[in-house]
Copies of this chain bind each other. A is one copy, B any other.
């Protein structure tokens, strides 16, 4: 008679995942790591001294956690700087008042004050309807709000994103002298939300800034009242020569398949306002916590686990592209990659870009996660930094935290450590580490 194993693999997995959650919630280091990243380093846009500091910070933290090896991978990054304090005011019916703006990343400056009448549009297509006659010499205000009825706030953001990414180039074609973009957030406040934009080749670049939702509503009301609106903006941003910075990579060497890799990562760079706490300090400390949890629980992975702190997600994605290019050049086999870049909120589940059989395996783990209220196991976008690894073989997975609050903070001065909840962050770390454990065991 054959002896039955004392416990099944599913029971073993269940017990280990319970240990991971317990450790993360009772002795987790991610909250303190986030405090340090946000307060000791602070905002860390690619090219900045603070981004250099963050790279060393990440290297030292991961060495301290006992990774088998930690190294830097050179990445060429753009170096855009905001310059001195930005200022803007509006004049409505002869009354002047300050408005809250910030340059979009990549924008040119204004070379002193730029004053012009404002024309409001809701959609890029409105520009063609208005034509050069009505737009030339004016500042275009793109004032389409995020759609409130979309449950997924990421979809609402995506639906308004073209204003920020393409507004300047499209308005420039009709002779506009600048653009203001309604901040891409549901929150109604006076904090402008920056983010990347780019100039299409061949169009005359014009300054582009985000305007707070409160100010955008005030201007919108002025247009409803048929008032003439004039704004004066002063932006001192500029693009400096490119710099060499780095991805930070730590490894726990695999015991059975040392040359097969499972990546877990987020991005180390952030915008230059706020502290990059949710975007993407949370993803950084979620990923680093895998090292802590694996070490604390003596989990020895079969595959080599690589924690990758990517540089330059916000304005170029050169960290993710460089990592994938070098992995391909070296012929490295990547089994799976998991990215956390949607904030430090309570985790809900996973979004997968993977083969049918991989999706099926990951979905089979749903019962292991139900005690932790992890319920989303859907196909969908994984993440900007791991996406360049997509090759039809590597399973790409994004952590999906609850996203109702994410765009309140995203790319704004509100994205600070104090706005990340300790337990929610710890639950995210445990969820990430548990999936990495399962991928290592079963892939």
Contact = CB atoms under 8 A, between A and B. Distances in A.
16 contacts: A21-B149, A21-B151, A25-B148, A26-B148, A148-B423, A151-B372, A151-B373, A151-B427, A186-B422, A346-B402, A346-B404, A348-B373, A404-B421, A404-B424, A404-B427, A408-B421
Given A151-B21, A405-B421, A375 B375 contact: yes
A373 to B, nearest CB: 7
Interface residues of A, number: 25
Q: How many copies does the complex hold?
A: 2
A160 to B, nearest CB: 15
A371 interface: yes
B421 A26 contact: no
Interface in A1-49: 21-22, 25-26
A214 interface: no
A413 to B, nearest CB: 17
Contacts of A348: 373
A151 B373 CA distance: 8
A373 B421 CA distance: 21
Contacts of A22: 149
Nearest to A402: B346
Contacts of A402: 346, 373, 402
Contacts of A372: 151
Interface string A147-161: 011010100000000
A92 interface: no
Contacts of A371: 151
Given A153-B423, A373-B402, 12 more contacts: A21-B149, A25-B148, A25-B149, A26-B149, A186-B422, A346-B404, A348-B373, A404-B421, A404-B424, A404-B427, A405-B421, A408-B421
